[in-house]
Amino acid sequence: MIDFTKMEGCGNDFIVVDGRSQRLDADLSGLGRRLCARTTGIGADGLIVLRAATDSDAAYAVDIINASGLPAEMCGNGARCVALYAIKHGIAPPQHHFATLAGRIGARLLDNGEVGITLTAPTGVALNQQVSAAGRSWALDYANTGVPHAVIWVDEPLDRVDVPGLGPALRHHPLFPHGTNVNFVARTADGLAIRTFERGVEAETQACGTGASAAALLAWLRGYASTQVRVHTRHGGVLSIAIEPVTASVPRLRLAGPAHAVFTGRIAAAGHGSAMAI
C-alpha cells in the first residue's frame, strides 16, 4: 500500500508520495501511469516522489513523473505543491532548497499563504522561430525554464484556440529533438492569459508553472510586460512571476501562486485501493 497526498496548484494536480519512508516500485514510470490515470487510478497530471537529498544544501530531492510515465526535469506547480507538503509535514522549514533533475530549487511559504519558488536560470531563449506544423506556418518564441517551452502569441480569444489539436503537432516538431511544451498566450489588461499543452501529460492542463514563467520572461523580453507579471491560467487562478535581472543576459525567475492539499489516502501499488478525504 502507498500513502499519498493529492495536491493542486491552480488546478494543476499531483500525487505526492514520501518515498523516504515507503518502499516504492523501482519502475516509477509505470507507477506514475497507474496512479495518475483518471478513470482507474487517483487521477493527476503527475506523480512527485520525495527522496532523501544527497546534496547537503538541499532539504530533500524529488522525482517527477508525468501522467504518461515520462520523467520530468522540473515542474513549477508541482514544485510549489511538494514544497508546501514538506513544510506542513516538518520535513523542511518555511524557506528551504530542494533538488530536481533541472537543478536546485528555492522555496518559501509566503505571508499570504501562497508558495513561491525560485527557478533555475532560463536557457535556450530565442525569439521569432519560424516553424511549419498542422498545415500552417507559426512564429514562436522559446525558453527552457527547467523544461522546454514554446510560446505562441495569439490575438484571438484563447477559448477559440484548438489546443488539443494544435498542441501535438508543435510538441513533436523536429525543431525540438526532445519535444516541448506548447503555450498559447494572449496579452490582457493586467498581464497575460495562457493555455498549455504539456509534454508528458500529452494533453492540455489547467495550469503550468514553468510555462507561465517562460511566457512572462518572453513577454518581458518583447516589451509586453514589466518585471512583475500576472498570468491567468485555464483554471482561472493567477500565477505571479517576478523577473529579477542578475546579469545582462540571465534573469532570475520567481514563481508564486496558491497550492493546496486536496485529500490524503492509501492505494495499492499494483491495483485498486482506498482513499480517505481530509
Name residue, grid cell 481530509.
Answer: 278
User: Which stretches does DSSP call E strand in the chain?
Assistant: 2-9, 12-18, 46-51, 61-66, 71-72, 95-100, 103-109, 115-118, 123-133, 136-144, 148-153, 181-188, 191-198, 203-205, 228-232, 238-245, 251-257, 260-267, 274-276
DSSP 200: T
Cα–Cα distance, 87 to 24 (Å, whole number): 22
Cβ–Cβ < 8 Å for 42, 4: yes
User: Which is catalytic among the residues 10, 36, 75, 81?
Assistant: 75
Q: Is 36 a catalytic residue?
A: no
Sign of CA dihedral 38, 62, 11, 216: negative
Which residue, 52, 74, 54, 55, is CA-closest to 64?
74
The strand pair at 191-198 and 251-257 is best described as: unpaired
How far apart are the C-alpha atoms of 54 and 104, rounded to whole Å? 12
Largest CA distance in the chain: 53
Q: Cell 493542486: give the residue.
A: 8
The answer to whether residue 10 is catalytic is no
Q: Which of 10, 36, 81, 208 is catalytic?
A: 208
The candidate with the shortest Cα–Cα distance to 222, out of 173, 118, 152, is 152
Instruction: Name the residues annotated as catalytic.
Output: 75, 208
